[in-house]
Amino acid sequence: QASSSAASTKKGVESAAPELKDGDGSMPQASEESCATLAFPSISTADFRFDHEKAANIIVETVSEFFSRAESSGLRLVLVDIDQGSDMLSRVRSKAESAGLDSRKFLVTHGDITKLHSTGGPRCSVIANAANWRLKGGGGGVNLAIYRAAGDDFEEATKKYAKTLDPGKVVAVPLPASSPLRTKEGVTHVIHVLGPNMNPQRPNCIADDYSQGCRLLRQCYAALFSTFASIAK
């Protein structure tokens, strides 16, 4: 469902996920060996400079909320960071343990989100991207890595679903059949997420407004997890 303006995009974004069909019908099924799994980076906490402690609390709370709902049955979430000594992974690991989260359903791991399966990590049918509002490749961070790994057609594939993204919103994009991310890693969809931006050098900066920032970051994760659940079912 293509959208051609920011206004129609917003509507399209909100309704896109449940209508998504996997391109070649090869969506992995949940099983003991391979639960449908979403790998996601810590949204907004690097280039967008969101406070790590607040972000770690939000991740653990939204993950807990997700696993308390029926839609999460048979699904698995993986927080991943390429940074070996990741402060976010340490914070989330310890908070997840305190919250009693099941470590078989919620994994916290170091690695490159675009190479998890081929480097011996969990097989993830869906990965999340910390996107920019224009949904453009390049820039830096995980966005650059995902667009590179997904191949040349990925930006065009994304634009069929949304032209731009508002903070707090997500849009799911099925990977083209020829995408190396699909053929080598078994990833069928990328869910773009636009987190709140606290960096004055980037667009839509909300400065130190953490009341709005926390609300938007919660909204991101809630939308990300339920969109993943819609894809996996």
Interface residue with ligand AR6 among 36, 47, 108, 179 (CB under 6 A) is 47
For residue 82, give the amino acid letter: I
Q: In this structure, is the dihedral angle defined by the CA atoms of residues 114, 115, 118 and 123, taken in order, positive or negative?
A: negative
Nearest partner of 113 among 146, 71, 136, judged by Cα: 146
- List, as one string, the DSSP characters of 62-88: HHHHHHTSGGGTTEEEEEEES-TT-HH
Binding footprint of ligand AR6, residue count (CB under 6 A): 26
Give start and end residues of each alpha helix (H) in 99-209.
141-150, 154-159, 180-185
Distance CA 75, CA 67 (A): 9
- The distance of closest approach from Cβ of residue 196 to ligand AR6 in the complex, given in angstroms and rounded to an integer, is 9
Q: Binding pattern to ligand AR6, positions 185-224, x when CB under 6 A?
A: ----------x------x----------------------
Q: Binding pattern to ligand AR6, positions 76-95, x when CB under 6 A?
A: ----xxxx----x-------
- As a three-state string, the secondary structure of 164-180 is CCCCCCEEEEECCCCCH
Within 118-157, the residues that bind ligand AR6 by CB under 6 A are: 130, 132, 139-143, 145
Residue 114 touches ligand AR6, criterion: CB under 6 A: yes
Distance CA 135, CA 41 (A): 16
User: Toward ligand AR6, which CB reaches closer, 25 or 120?
Assistant: 120
User: Toward ligand AR6, which CB reaches closer, 141 or 180?
Assistant: 141
The residue nearest ligand AR6 at its CB is: 141
Among 44-52, 97-105, 157-165, 177-185, which window interacts with ligand AR6 (CB under 6 A)?
44-52
Tokens representing residue 163 in the block = 């032209």
Binding site for ligand AR6 (CB under 6 A): 41-48, 80-83, 88, 112-114, 130, 132, 139-143, 145, 195, 202
